Structure 1
Amino acid sequence: MKISTEELLPEPPLGLPPRVFHLEDRLNEINSAIKRYITADYTIPKEWVEERNGIITELKYGDHKEFND
C-alpha cells in the first residue's frame, strides 16, 4: 500500500488572513466614524482623512492584484 505525502504531513495551523482584509475593515471603520462626525456636525480629524486616503491608495495601487484594474 502506497502512502501519500498528504497523509504523512500534519495540517498546518491557521495562519493570518491577507493584509487586504485588514485594510478593508479599517477603511470601513474610518468611513463609519466620518459619517458619525458629519451627522453630529463635528470637524473630522485630518489624521482620519490622511489614513483613509493612504488606505485607498494602497488598495488601488499596492501589491493587491485583485484591486488593480
Structure 2
Amino acid sequence: MQNCSITFKVGGEIITESRIREVELKRYQHVFEVFSKKGISITLNGRRIAAKELWQLTLDNAKIALAETREKMG
C-alpha cells in the first residue's frame, strides 16, 4: 500500500493539521462560552469545569466534555 497524504488549501494557502485542530478547539470553546452564558454547566468525567479551566482543555478533553454535557442536557 502506498503512503498517502491529504493537503488542505484555502485561498491557495496550505492549512496544516495543527491549524485545523486549533480552529476545531476554538469552536468547542465558543460552544462552551454560549452554554455558560445560558447557565449550562460543562462537565468532564462527571466533574463541573470552571470557566477558566475550559480555555485550558486539550482538544480531546473538549470533545469529551461537550459530548458529556450534551448527553446530560438530553
Query: Same fold, TM exceeding 0.5?
Result: no
Larger Rg, first or second structure (1 or 2): 1
What's the TM-score, normalizing by structure 1?
Answer: 0.39
As a proportion of its length, which structure holds more strand?
2
As a proportion of its length, which structure holds more helix?
1
